[in-house]
Structure 1
């Protein structure tokens, strides 16, 4: 037995010696790497002549402490080499490969998937052809992938979602002809995605909204169709978004406004339609905005005045209409608005004077006028000093006393001065501008006592217009005399010829027009809120017509002049053309000269100037078109329009003209007229109230002014009359029944 064991041990010992001898003859991993590099031909005699035999010292090669190759970076070799010449199976310790502009030809080899430790791969600006090998899905540690500016064909490999550590991916300027794979949404660490100038088609995948860390998104110059996915609003870190030169359709989603860090937005040359979202004004860091060459219609929203950082704007070649906000018109060249034939630039005849002066002119002014200005200031300062010394008793008087009646503030807690308002708005800096009305711009300001107010300021050019000046002072006068819970509260005013402004209570949700035209906010305005809103406006007009002595006509009741607070409660505003009725004039007053945009095609024609009624929600009634005389019944007519617009969700202009024919009214079903964005009213009491509102509104729209109810009657109807419960559903009720 012992001899057997001794014999076996001898055999094993012999085998181990043979294995050890053979092992000494095997090449080491380092030798294998050198052989792979050498046999590729990239480092031929011309390049390796007179250099070390140690490949770690060759151009473009970096090794770790163990002498293994971890990086190939811009090696010094001839162009026209193929990546397939390099035996990547022998270079499995590679961490970085940077071969930008190296002149590589042919395909990306399949065995590239063996580089499991690779974190950086840049093969950009070469002549690579073929398709992406599926084995690239094995590069799970990859953080940077750049294969841009090549001739790669086919689609992005579907397993791209395996590369969970990708931070940068640039596949731009190739010939990819597939779709953007859905699994791209799995790249949760991705910050940079560039698929520019390929032949990608299909839709933007919904999963794109999962890339929460994305900072740059460029899919321009492709064949992408479909709409912009709502999930785009989830990309809260996005700085650059370029979707230009595609076939993207639909509307610009309001969720785009959630991209608060966005600096660059390019939607040029698509087939987008709809209106510019009002919420776009929330992108306060936006520097470049290009929406040219689309089918976008409607007005340029005044909320865009809040884009203080904007330095480039192009809205050309669309179907925009209405006025250009003054701040936008002054800031950008005429080329920004070309080929929008319905834009009304003539509303600002002096717009050229607001263009910025050149740098050279500023330098001339500084050199010539600055010394003169300093001398004048010194002289004025001395005069003021002398005056202060001689009138010490006057120095302690409040501002309202010093300036007489030009500045009045009330209903504030604590002392608020003119200087507080100037400081709160930084002398009415455009950054605080939240909109522009028929005259003057509106600013948001937080005063020292913490109250947030809205300031309507008449600009200098407007102040020189007697009509605007009269309207501004008229609004201050009327609002200082009336008080109602549903009339916007006036806190004070300044009527100095050099600085005219009104101080209002701030309405957080903006105008009814803005809310009805915003996809998200409109849903918050449910049926109950809409019915209550109509009732509150009715009570307000009743107060003005019947409880004020003498009565007051508003004459401009529109959705732009109904403001909403944080609870979506309505407040009537803009009393610039309101008039106090003379009891001796048979309750009639001439129409205001500033509102000549009335839409009465039978009388005034239908050019773009008169058509602003439908665009900006101004109204006229039949008798106004012919007689130019206004009384309480014109406010009643306007109330009827507002009531229907609130329930229908859009201006009822075509509806009003159609129901003048009795036969047409019989075919119109109430259910079909309601705002489709809200679910149908399921509660019977809500449906009953909707029917009551529409019925009263139709009575207010009677073509014969004498047949319209007084606002007091409308108000009392809402207060005391409980409408009978409906006996049948809304889809069985025609408009003609409610007209009875």
Structure 2
């Protein structure tokens, strides 16, 4: 027993000595590593600038565990470096990573570190590195391929540097990577296919770079991805197929790329998704019912694509939705009344679509709504007064629709409203004084309507206003005495009936009041004089009887003289005064004010003293070889034409007649006619496809209005590219009504064929009774001329179009080559194909086969996707498309 005990004691002593020796050796290793780490950090500190070194004043001995930003593990080895937000300036070149092998986390965010990422940052040296954070610095160059050796890395954050080059394929070796942020750099090229191997990624940010190519289809192969953003790159191709079943998604941003394909069934059901942005791509298809199954979705943006169809009714069940942006697509139908159930909605943008019908009154239930934009649609009817219940509104834009009647005074209840745009509608009646309650209103645009009366005096208290536009209405009276009106440019108040104020171009209100008071005094004097005359009239009656015959002769002569100087009031000016101003402004119709010439008159530019500019058409009259005009009928037509109000018809103010001259007064268009624009190469290049498409639509809308909304219908009769005028924004305005007549359907008062060769319908060769279908034919010619850049010539004939030569003619070859048709975007290409198809329909020889302008106008509002690219479309195929 004694010997056995002695053996145990000896054995224990032997093992204890061994453990002690091993621990001593282990400690020695860590002490050595710490000294190496301290020396590496001190050497790097010496390479930083003076200010940075002062921030690291605690770095001075060989124990790094006491250094600022340094943490050690239980064994005293450096495990964490966190030097973020210290304002350090320098490079990483002086840091020897080979002496920091125990570091688990390296954080250097938001400093001024510049230069390259050293290639020495790899597994052979940083064996334990799990997190590498270098965001918000000035690092440049490319990511070293050696970074792929950091196989333990879980987090890599290089956000917002100046890194460039392609993303190395070696990053596909980082199998443990869960978070990768390369956003806000200058990376280019395509993503390596090895990205499909990163199956553990939950957070992938590639936004704001110059990356291109297709997004790897298996980006969510591991079904772990939660936050994915490729915003603002140049990616092309379809939506990655793996995203459809990526049910873990919480936030997805694919916006501002060039992605294509049909999204109708490209996405699945995401129970955790709260943010989705697909805006500014080339996606097509219809809105999916599956969005309603994403119960946590708070923000959905799909603007600026080619989405068509109607807004699904089930969108009204997306209870958590706070932002819905479907603007700039091809959506049609009506706004579902179920949208009023979205009680959490803050922003709704459906602008720039083809949505029609009334705005549902249920929108007024959206008490939290801050931004509502329904601009540039085909909405009509009344602006619902229930919008006044949206008391949180900050911005309301209903411009460029067909809203009628009055502005609802209930809008004054939206006390926080800062922007109100109701321009380009058909609103009439007075401006409600309740709008003055909007003390926070900064921007007000009610231009291009038919509002009349005075601007409410209460507007004097709207001190927050910074920008106003009340132009193109029938307003009168003084402008409100507030900075926004007093400093408004004349363009923002022009084309009204009688506004006055301290704005250049407007008359002074005081002078108007003086004239009114003077007129009242004169009236009193006249009344007194009249009473005196009554007392004297008995004494003078004998003289009156004696001279009665002589006075009748004098009166007849005076009437004849007055008829010779018969002026019509224009813009509420005295006819004679306005006539004199026109003569003065045109310097007697001097050639230097010449603008152009049509078949029925010469056009001059006249800028009167009030600052308004008119187009004056001097008609061909008072000449021996011209037909005598029936002035009574002519004046009746003029009165009717002055009442026409449409955004795409040149506003007609009236006329002045004189034995020497007779001229018509029109709104002046800055860019002249469509024909002169197309003939000038430089102007034609500025006249891009989207503007040309808009011009065709505008002409169609104007003719539809003339044919279907005027009673009796108005036929233009001489529609050419010479009387399609363009304003500064290239919006089309149909002009030259000097040749048009108001015509009832059963009327046939024409005495001669009228029109311009190349634009007149073929049936006028054997019939002198024009119909609306003659204008339809002329529209077809103008539509082709607009997209071809010149008169279409033989292409207006179907017989020619069906010839062997035309069968092989491709559409891209007849388009205006000055605009490089091959570069047409998908949406513009579809519009051009649609316009060409409709133009050929309008050019049918048989007028019964031509569509009405109402049908053409409506069809131009919709964009039907075609299965073939522009380069593959021939003129023959367009004749066959129904």
Same fold (TM over 0.5): no
Structure of greater Rg: 2
Which structure would you say has the larger RCO, counting Cα contacts within 8 Å and 6 or more residues apart? 1
Instruction: Give the structure-2-normalised TM-score.
Output: 0.37
| Structure with the higher strand share, 1 or 2 | 2
